[in-house]
Structure 1
Amino acid sequence: MELRQFLGALRMRWVFSTLTFLVGAALTAAVVLLMTPQYGSSVKLFVSTPSGGSAEYAASFIVTQRVASYAELATDPSVLQRVVDKLDLDTSYEDLEGQVSASVITGTQTIELDVTADTPELAQQIAKAEAEEVVALVEQLERPAVKDEEPAIAARIAAEPSISDTPVSPNLPLNIGIGLLLSLFVAIVGALLRDLLDRTVKSRQDAEKISGHSVLVTLPYDPQVKKTPLATEAGGSLAEAFRVLRTNLQFADLDSQRQAILVSSALPDEGKTLVATNLALTMAQSGRSVLLIDADMRNPNVAELLGLENSVGVVTVLVGRTSIDEATQPHSSGISFLGTGPTPPNPAEVLDTQAMRDLIARVRKDYDAVIIDAPPMLPVADASILLTEVDGALLLVRHGSTTREQLRLAVSRIETVGGRLFGTILNRTPRRVGDADGYGYGYGHGYGYGYAPTVDTDSTPTAAPAAPPDPEPGGRRIGRRVKR
């Protein structure tokens, strides 16, 4: 992994890394502060040959060799058990072994015993008892074979065991420092692992490589979209993003004077409804006559977004209850809107009819641009049915949500029915990883197609003010452009 990829992964996962580090730091502080203080006591044993002994000269060499053995025997189970019995300790010799250590002071014949315990007094008592037992052990092992002869080597307690009210552990600065370093390490490694194991689309390069088509625009996440979801109201980067999309679509289909564009996504909650609506508004700003059709009969949202009615629309036209002109509603932005009408029990069958094909063919002649908000590609077949009746499709890809396999399947479904994909739109990208476009927003809707995406209850857009239809003389609505 290159340094740029490493830093990019950390930037992408900064929330996870920060939370992991903070949790680790909190756990470290809790563990350190809850640790029982341990107090220490030390005592020194001097190992030598008895003064004036006949074997003093020879024994001086033996002492140097044996003093390390005596230090090791200080923690022998038999010695520790005698200490436990002597002090009547409420512990086993195995536990005591972790509290006692013995070492030889370099260059000397001195053994130092170090003891830790819950109180200073207990530590001193254990140190004294341990020292006495080691002295007794040396005396036993060095006892001469001839009675009344002095041993060649003896051990003596140099001084009384020390006592201190200052705990030797825990070492707060050291333990907290180690805990923070471990937390930081876990946070970094965890972020990298999550990034490596993440199969979602997270960049323009991912989307283009998997789909085989260009990303027409990237739409960075903008929380202000909840308040001003329409480009005509928000202005700024939101409006500019859709102007970029409008321009790119003109280059994607240069030979067509009139365009019928289907907007869909792999799964629900990826932002297709707002993209379709704002694309229609932006096209209308350029002076084109635009009809926005809500073909998502399973979960219509466009009418609510525009502040218009959805009770009359495609379904009522198809069953012959009203005409296209009567069902079309004008909006103050200049676009015309055709809702879904009553929800049918079989949306796919309704869309896959000659009447629906005739409806699309009719409106394509009447408007410069027809934008269709279609259901997601993977859960249902509705969008696939409509693909053969339009010039091309736009496929929404939600950053960090749509997986590579889902995008691949959605593109494959478009190609299977012979549809044309103009390109993809990468939605809800973090601004720090946005592409060169640098414009736009992020938005999503929830759906009821059998999938279970995470629904943001705060993502319901604020409806735009409704524009009451002004009837022309004779009862015609003025929202639809005059047929050319």
Structure 2
Amino acid sequence: MTPREYVDLFRERWRAILAGLLLGIAVAVGIVQTSTPLYAAKVTLFVSAGTSTDPSAALDRNQLSAQRMQTYVQLITSDRVASDVVQSLQLPMTGPELAGRIAASSEPDTVLLDATVSDEDPVLAATIANTLADQFISAVDDLEQPSGVIPSEAVVSARVFEEAVPPAEPNWPQPVLTIAIGALLGLLAGFALAVLRRALGTSITSRRLLADAVTAPVLGVIARRRRSAKDPLVVRDATRGSRAEAFRQLRTNLQFVDVDRALKVVMLTSPSPGDGTTTVLANLALTMAEAGQRVLVVEADLRRPRAADMFGVQRTYGLSNVLARRAKAHDVVQHGEGGVDVLPSGPIPPNPGQLLASPRMVELLDELRPAYDAILLDTSPVLPVADATVLAPLADGVVLVVRAGTRAHRVEAAREALGAVSARLVGTVLVGLRSRSARGDQRYAAATPATQRVLAAPPAAATATAAPQVPQVPPARQVPPARQVPPARQVPPAPQALPAAPRPAHSVPATTNGNANVWRPSPVPRTPAPGERRRV
């Protein structure tokens, strides 16, 4: 993995990594709190060859002593020497138990032997270490001194170089070292769990994982918003927000996803309920209407419809009546928020799948195509019911809405279900992704008060002191004197009228709805005069 992939992994699975780190620290703290303090006393022994008048013999004996140092390390930790210590001190333990508390070591190319004894009592630890040294010296004398040889002529001898003293501080536990090791092990365990979960592909947590699971382009990424459930129409309520710009980007990507084939009838669906299909469809419809397109939203979810409520229209009569041949389409289409026409679901029928699969649905779409630039179908989820797979072949394109955290196997199952009916999956939309750059996008997308003051007209005092001859603004950037706005959002003065955007014959006039820079249609239908556009 590259460093960038590690950073992405941390952003995606930071909860698992943090949980592993905290768990490791908690385990280390528990070990420190519950462990009994142990004190370590060390005694150092010097092992040498016996004296001799022959220099060459003395050299051989010194070499022999150095080669046997590892044997002496095993000897001083043996059960025999430990049993002798237990008998000498009358300790309440056995020889093997004491041997487990003894650690010995020897530095290479030296004849110094270190023996360390651990015990809960520091004084007893030092006493055991010194007694251990005495017993080891006795054992070396018995093993290395041949019979009939005087002690001065012994081959190898050992003596105490540094006696053990009672330690002042315990050797175990070491809080700082133990907690650091626990934190490191917990962090590694958290990363290992994150890598394992990504390798198994348990959920969709990034744009790349969604593209790999569906093998279709990701048309848009909608960041998570806490208040989106209360005000789902973010394009209407926050026209300059980062989420509103994300929906506009989705509209643009959808328009250019296939330039050779126009997408007039687009169906939006999702793998599971609650993925946000209706919210994405409603905001996408508003952005299309904002761009001057004639948009119709068809509430084809005949089980749990929600689109009509978002656009503020009644569903007393609607799609179910049209499919049952009890009403005409033009009689039940209503004007909704933002200049979007809505064909509500109507009464919920007992057989939604059969109605949607009837030939009347094909005829209805053929009737609606000439009257609108875009027709958006809001349908049921793919996996629970078969309604979406019935409508998918009738649409020019299908957009799959996936909520971040959805299991990858469910997304793949939805893709396979759409592919089984030869549906044209043009792309996906990732909803609810946590974005660290959302605040920065919001500041960039929204004009700050300071920016608005710079773009506004100069104050009267400044114009009074200016030169009589006012320089002319270049024609390409000329704005009305009443109020200056950016060239891309140029607004004429109040006495003049803006040319009306193309709308269907039954469209309604536009009002400001409390925002001086955003034009929205009035809920009261009437036929506007040519070129009329009223501001409040």
TM more than 0.5: yes
- Hey, what does 2:10 align to over in structure 1? 10
State the secondary structure of the residue aligned to 1:276. helix
Q: Within 1, Cα distance between the matches of 2:250 and 2:116? A: 76
Shift in alpha-carbon separation, 1:99–1:304, aligned structure 2, 3 A: farther
Superposed counterparts of 1:41-56, under 5 Å: 41-45=41-45
State the secondary structure of the residue aligned to 1:41. strand
Q: Within 2, Cα distance between the matches of 1:13 and 1:284? A: 39
Q: Within 1, Cα distance between the matches of 2:144 and 2:100? A: 28
Q: Does 1:273 align with 2:278?
A: yes
Specify which of 388, 391, 395 is matched with residue 386 of structure 1: 391
- Hey, what does 2:491 align to over in structure 1? none
What is the deviation of 1:289?
3.8
RMSD over aligned Cα atoms: 4.2
- Hey, what does 1:101 align to over in structure 2? 103
Q: Within 1, Cα distance between the matches of 2:231 and 2:396? A: 30
Shift in alpha-carbon separation, 1:34–1:250, aligned structure 2, 3 A: same
Specify which of 297, 300, 319 is matched with residue 305 of structure 2: 300
Superposed counterparts of 1:221-370, under 5 Å: 221-230=224-233, 231-235=235-239, 236-251=241-256, 259-310=264-315, 312-319=317-324, 324=329, 327-370=332-375
- Hey, what does 2:431 align to over in structure 1? 427
Aligned residue identity for 2:8: G
What is the deviation of 1:163?
0.9
Shift in alpha-carbon separation, 1:110–1:276, aligned structure 2, 3 A: closer
Shift in alpha-carbon separation, 1:259–1:88, aligned structure 2, 3 A: same
Q: Within 1, Cα distance between the matches of 2:129 and 2:175? A: 25
Superposed counterparts of 1:53-132, under 5 Å: 62=61, 65-66=64-65, 68=69, 69-104=71-106, 111-132=113-134
Given that residues 144 and 150 in structure 1 are in contact (C-alpha distance below 8 angstroms), is that contact kept between their aligned partners in structure 2?
Answer: no
Q: Within 2, Cα distance between the matches of 1:253 and 1:112? A: 79
Shift in alpha-carbon separation, 1:344–1:82, aligned structure 2, 3 A: farther
Q: Does 1:371 align with 2:364?
A: no
Q: Within 2, Cα distance between the matches of 1:248 and 1:149? A: 98
What is the deviation of 1:357?
3.5
Specify which of 392, 400, 421 is matched with residue 417 of structure 1: 421
Given that residues 295 and 373 in structure 1 are in contact (C-alpha distance below 8 angstroms), is that contact kept between their aligned partners in structure 2?
Answer: yes
What is the deviation of 1:39?
0.7
Given that residues 298 and 342 in structure 2 are in contact (C-alpha distance below 8 angstroms), is that contact kept between their aligned partners in structure 1?
Answer: yes
Specify which of 210, 217, 220 is matched with residue 217 of structure 1: 220
Structure-2-length-normalised TM-score = 0.68
Given that residues 63 and 109 in structure 1 are in contact (C-alpha distance below 8 angstroms), is that contact kept between their aligned partners in structure 2?
Answer: no
Q: Within 2, Cα distance between the matches of 1:80 and 1:209? A: 65
Q: Does 1:192 align with 2:185?
A: no
Q: Within 1, Cα distance between the matches of 2:54 and 2:16? A: 72
Q: Which has the higher contact order (CA 8 A, sep 6+)?
A: 1
Aligned residue identity for 2:427: G
Shift in alpha-carbon separation, 1:162–1:248, aligned structure 2, 3 A: closer
Task: Identify which range, 66-75 or 228-237, moves more after superposition.
Answer: 66-75
Shift in alpha-carbon separation, 1:205–1:170, aligned structure 2, 3 A: closer
Given that residues 261 and 394 in structure 1 are in contact (C-alpha distance below 8 angstroms), is that contact kept between their aligned partners in structure 2?
Answer: yes
Given that residues 64 and 109 in structure 1 are in contact (C-alpha distance below 8 angstroms), is that contact kept between their aligned partners in structure 2?
Answer: no
Structure-1-length-normalised TM-score = 0.75
Quote the sequence identity (%).
34
Superposed counterparts of 1:99-178, under 5 Å: 99-104=101-106, 111-141=113-143, 145-146=147-148, 152=154, 155-157=158-160, 161-178=164-181
Q: Which structure 1 segments of 5+ residues have no match? A: 441-466, 473-484
Task: Identify which range, 348-357 or 252-261, moves more after superposition.
Answer: 252-261
Q: Within 2, Cα distance between the matches of 1:183 and 1:58? A: 58
- Hey, what does 2:27 align to over in structure 1? 27
Shift in alpha-carbon separation, 1:89–1:309, aligned structure 2, 3 A: farther
Given that residues 21 and 183 in structure 1 are in contact (C-alpha distance below 8 angstroms), is that contact kept between their aligned partners in structure 2?
Answer: yes
Q: Within 2, Cα distance between the matches of 1:304 and 1:98? A: 76
Q: Within 1, Cα distance between the matches of 2:351 and 2:20? A: 48
Task: Identify which range, 281-290 or 254-263, moves more after superposition.
Answer: 254-263
Deviation sequence 1:234-291 (CA, Å, 0-9, x none): 3222222222333344445768999322111233343211111112222233344433
Q: Within 2, Cα distance between the matches of 1:242 and 1:271? A: 13
Q: Which structure 2 segments of 5+ residues have no match? A: 446-520, 527-536
What is the deviation of 1:10?
3.1
Given that residues 50 and 58 in structure 2 are in contact (C-alpha distance below 8 angstroms), is that contact kept between their aligned partners in structure 1?
Answer: no
Deviation sequence 1:24-77 (CA, Å, 0-9, x none): 2332333234332221222344556899x9999968964763572444311111
What is the deviation of 1:373?
0.6
Q: Within 2, Cα distance between the matches of 1:211 and 1:138? A: 76
State the secondary structure of the residue aligned to 1:196. helix
Deviation sequence 1:74-121 (CA, Å, 0-9, x none): 111122233334445454444432321234577775543321111202
Shift in alpha-carbon separation, 1:155–1:273, aligned structure 2, 3 A: same
Q: Within 2, Cα distance between the matches of 1:417 and 1:378? A: 14
Aligned residue identity for 1:118: E
Shift in alpha-carbon separation, 1:109–1:376, aligned structure 2, 3 A: closer
